[in-house]
Chain A
Amino acid sequence: MSAKIVTAYHLRDGDAVFLREDTSWSKDVAEAAVVETAEAEAALLETGQADVTRNIVLDVYAVDVEIVDGTPKPTKFRELLRCLGPSNRTDLGKQAA
């Protein structure tokens, strides 16, 4: 299985968030917990799903990543854009921070 992280949308601002190992959510993909087994992925998704019930996030799902310079980088372009922001406006979104 390829490496995976778990992502969702923050309820209040709709921003892309990533589940940390400590079960909190980060806006920075570099802080995401990376799992490499189906069991660990299921456990991470279950943790994330619990925060849907708690109305913290919505639409929880797993994303394929590769590890680049020690940090996870989504392999799908759509997910990479969620980690950065619109490519036509590099002054906006997470990439602007």
Chain B
Amino acid sequence: MYRYDEFDHAFVRQRANQFKGQVARRLSGELTEDEFKPLRLMNGLYLQLHAYMLRVTIPYGTMSSRQLRQLAIIGRKYDKGYGHFTTRQNIQFNWPKLEDVPQILEDLAAVEMHAIQSSGNCIRNVTSDHYAGAIATEVSDPRIHSEVIRQWSSLHPEFSFLPRKFKFAVTGDATDRAAVKFHDIGIIIKKNDAGEVGGEILVGGGMGRTPMIGKTIRDFVPERDLLAYVEAILRVYNLYGRRDNKYKARIKILVHERGIEEIREKVEAEFAQIQGSSLTVPQEELDRIAAYFADPDFEAFDAEALEAINRELEVRKFENRDFAAWMKTNVKPHKQAGYAIADITLKGIGETAGDITSDQMDVVADLTEQFSLDEMRASHEQNLILPHVKQADLFELWSALNSHGLGTPNSGLITDMIVCPGMDYCALATARSIPIGQEISRRFADLERQYDIGGMKIKMSGCINACGHHHAGHIGILGVDRRGEEVYQITLGGSGDETASVGARVGPAFTADEVVDAIETIVNTYLDLRESPEETFLSAYRRVGLDPFKEKLYAAA
């Protein structure tokens, strides 16, 4: 894992101290709210429906047990005993008092964390594949370049006041778990024909009120030039991005209006000016950062030992159906023989997606230390991951998780939904999403039914800003206000993976009382029309389109 150097430590502590002074001046009346608001937003502090909300970044989703324990303490001491993991590998605390926030920032700084650039028109937390460094098919660990970008973009003077917020996602695997095509800049780390590491750069993706799939602006940029290339993109955006209309200010609109060819031409011209300058990352610096993400000390197992471990796991699964169910969905293959990746879905049946109590954070921190070489991950799908678990420890791990309400066996199934906080917390929301998510979860709780439905991603947002990624949901749900009533629009066929697509609206919205029945109708329609149990919902939808679903949904109308 990356560890702060002297500069990082000093910078984050200095920033916490600076905010302490700003809060004191706000409370004394020296600063008005108009003066203070941009300062608090730069430190991740929002004002929501019931209280302030502090958004803490988890760069590329990687954390240690020490950091998670500190988050548990913050939740317990300054909040109401819980936190909420978001869709951008952040955690949000929903109830901090303004006067406590400087101390929270100091506590975060003590464990190499902060809330800087988790808000505002700047480069936000760089997100990445939550299986980075553990998955066998990875070309290169995407966290290396995520960290390079994090360092470059932190308080970058030229890019601290962009036309709008700017989001990066980086993956190192052909299978996209980071939704790179839905980001302002998406980077797919790959190798060229000569075997050199570099990145395919996509630009202009995004969700919100105008969803767009990112377009490839360059198929391969050598890793030493990645920073210069993305800086060239940011410069073009900063110069030409619209500032007259906040709804048209994201780079996706610029790319859409000007066309990728014109944007490429301008970026390439800018890149030609700065290539080879100080933005070229020296190999020794890349190596230094890469060393932080080197494989941990994996234990080697011979064939005989592996066979014995597998035999033991089979026995455990035979003896314990709940463990077998968890193994089936929540445990993924690891690149290292004898190890596995374990998903901890924060999606207990009927629970609030992404919420975790401080006590549960402590449990996960202990298990991270005990079973996952002191490393854990937060995913953009609001789940936690223990990336490096010995297969021999899986039963013990599951037993501990299960006894603390963290062993729900639903990773990738219909109850493993993305659900934004919606109007229950968010000041921007136009409808609630959490209660709808809870009801869907209860409706589809039966595990055999979930298996029958297969891989399914429901994603739900409580407003057009699309924090719940509804555009990328196989089934997307968008809550809106219709003359004072919460109603829900449904989209079908969205996907955030390497085959990215934007969901299509199925028809008129449903009321809160109708929407879960509508989801069930969609699911039953899929089960009736699929060609085989192997044909997933997304594949079936792409084969048949909206019409069969529309017919069933609106037949009675």
Contact = CB atoms under 8 A, between A and B. Distances in A.
A88 B438 contact: yes
A55 B29 contact: yes
B424 A87 contact: yes
A77 B434 contact: no
Given A55-B29, A77-B423, A14 B435 contact: no
Contact of B49 (A55, A82, A88): A82
B312 to A, nearest CB: 40
Nearest to B48: A14
A34 interface: no
A81 B99 contact: no
Nearest to B431: A77
A89 B352 CA distance: 9
Nearest to A93: B50
B98 A77 contact: no
Contacts of A76: 484
A36 B47 CA distance: 29
A78 B95 CA distance: 18
Contacts, number: 67
Contacts of B26: 11, 55
A88 B434 contact: yes
Given A75-B484, A88-B352, A88-B435, A11 B50 contact: no
**B: interface residue count bin:** 20 to 34
A74 to B, nearest CB: 11
Contacts of A54: 29
Interface in B50-69: 50-52
Contacts of B52: 13-14
B423 A81 contact: yes
Contacts of A14: 47-48, 50-52, 97-98
A82 B486 CA distance: 16
Interface string B407-426: 00000000000000001110
B470 interface: no
Nearest to A54: B29
A76 B486 CA distance: 10
A5 interface: no
Interface in A56-97: 58-59, 75-78, 81-82, 85-89, 92-93
A33 interface: no
A86 B484 contact: no
B97 A11 contact: no
B432 interface: yes
A78 B33 CA distance: 23
A12 B99 contact: yes
Nearest to B419: A88
B50 A59 contact: no
Interface string A42-59: 000000000010110011
Given A11-B98, A55-B27, A81 B49 contact: yes
Nearest to A12: B98
B80 interface: yes
Contacts of B429: 78
A11 B27 contact: yes
Of listed B26, B50, B52, B486, residue having the most chain A CB within 10 A: B50
26 contacts: A11-B26, A11-B33, A11-B98, A12-B27, A13-B51, A14-B48, A14-B52, A16-B50, A52-B33, A55-B27, A55-B28, A55-B29, A77-B423, A81-B49, A81-B423, A81-B424, A86-B424, A86-B425, A87-B424, A87-B432, A87-B434, A87-B435, A88-B352, A88-B438, A92-B95, A93-B50
Given A11-B98, A13-B51, A81-B424, 11 more contacts: A11-B26, A12-B27, A12-B98, A54-B29, A55-B27, A58-B47, A59-B33, A76-B484, A81-B49, A88-B352, A92-B80
Interface of A: 9, 11-16, 52, 54-55, 58-59, 75-78, 81-82, 85-89, 92-93
